[in-house]
Amino acid sequence: MSFKRYNIENLEIISAGAEGKAVGKVDGLTVFVPYAVPGDIVDVEVYKRKRGYAECNLLAIKQPSPDRVTPPCGHFGHCGGCKWQMLTYEKQLEFKQKQVEDNFKHLGKFEFPPLMPILGSEKIYYYRNKLEYTFSTMLWLTYDDMKRQAEGEFFENRCLGFHVPGMFDKILDIKHCWLQAAPSNDIRLFCKQYAIEHNLDFYDPRLQKGLLRNLIIRTASTGDLMVVLIVTKYNQEVKDMLAALMERFPEITSLTFVINTKLNDAIFDLPFHLYAGQDYITEKMENLQFKVGPKSFYQTNSEQAYNLYKVVREFADIQKDEVVYDLFTGTGTIANFVAHQAKRVVGIEYVDTAVEDAKINSAQNNITNTEFVVGDMAKIFTDQFIAQHGKPDVIISDPPRAGMHPNVIEQLLKLEVPRIVYVSCNPATQARDLTLLDPKYRVEKVQPVDMFPHTQHVENVVLLKLR
């Protein structure tokens, strides 16, 4: 039997919850509502109910919270990318701090000191250095759009924008994105307009055909600018479009293209072809330069990444005679950032192309005391590995959202290094891992960092010391 939707009126929103949704309670039922703000009085529609909780759509704001603000983005509520734009930034930081504390309290079983005040991002708009857009013939229409279309207004179905959350084939055409600085918006709009004017085929995800697939724009604090065009074939039409793009935006320092004929959008197993400029852009951090290629991982908020790494370096307190292991090193940004303080730094990473970037970044910065090893952390972080590379005095660990594998935790407990700095993008799995490390390590410091304003995501740095 299908669930019958129903409405709840005059619901008070009491807190911010997981996945950017706000929380209310009624008759013992916990209610999750996207795009609501704590302090709002709202009407909602319950579309899914399970034991103890319900998922709802926001119908009306009866009384706005004093913490509610008007989102600047015209795509707010449809894009899904900046779910907290309607909440003051001060409150966003407050809820992120609380998220870390609640995860530690409720999911962890360890003692921890009062959290240090969260480090907010100086830029809360135009802070990302990378965005990826999709060309499509499957334009997403809002209810207002459909109403206007029914009244006779024409909507061009060829679009360039973001996937609508939960829909593989629907694309929200983006007019202006508040995430990436100029000339990002102008480049996207030019590519769309040029393609329409020259009648180039936009990709149809259902028929799985069309010339233009994706557009990636990467910017750097140095002023470097990378554009990557993903197409299904390289022909004269693509050559002409790339030439026009270069002519219109001479500030582009790296223009490449990728030929993707696969049924999915993954391109990291495909070759990148340089059309103009260099095949990389350069980021700077203090006196270091980092080469960022089209496949390279680099923290998407460059300026806040620097603040994050400074916290890591301070917590690690590395001495000149100490060996440091940087687990999940990625492209070696943290490893290279702290190398001048250490005797030696060993970075471990399972993505071989990232390790190659890490080695290049060491070489171009004349750093000679780093070593980078390719391998699955859960498999290669063994007694034999440590015997070969030397016992570490300090460990820095920045795992993916899933946290650290039990094998890694076991080896850390066995090693008994004096200090561990644990960087996490998921306080829930971090709380789990800290509980497992608690028999031998105590939590000394906790520093939340906001890398992604207007989202629920929070980064967290923890200093652990051997008991």
Identify which of 458, 457, 460, 455 has the alpha carbon closest to the alpha carbon of residue 178. Answer: 455
- Identify whether 425 is a catalytic site residue: yes
Residue type, 227: V
- List the one residue out of 354, 350, 323 whose CA is nearest residue 338: 323
Cα 330 to Cα 436: distance, rounded to the nearest angstrom = 24
Q: How far apart are CA 51 and CA 393, in angstroms?
A: 49
Following DSSP, what letter does each residue of 248-303 receive, concatenated? H-TT-SEEEEEE--SSS---TTS--EEEEE-S-EEEEETTEEEEE-TT----SSHH
d(CA 96, CA 232): 42
CB 76 within 8 A of CB 85: yes
Cβ(95)–Cβ(22) below 8 Å: no
306 in Cβ contact with 285 (< 8 Å) = yes
- Secondary-structure percent of the chain, ordered helix, strand, coil, rounded to 5: 25, 30, 40
Query: What residues form DSSP beta bridges with 447?
Result: 461
- Residue pair 242/198 in contact (Cβ under 8 Å)? The answer is no
Buried-state track 37-51, b at ≥16 Cβ within 10 A, e below 16: bbbbbbbbebeebee
Q: Which two tokens stand for residue 219?
A: 């910017």
Q: How many Cβ atoms are within 10 Å of 178's Cβ, its own excluded?
A: 22
CB within 8 A of 450, min separation 6: which ones?
Answer: 92, 93, 96, 118, 119, 120, 121, 304, 458, 459
Question: Which H or E run contains 393?
Answer: none
Catalytic center residues = 425
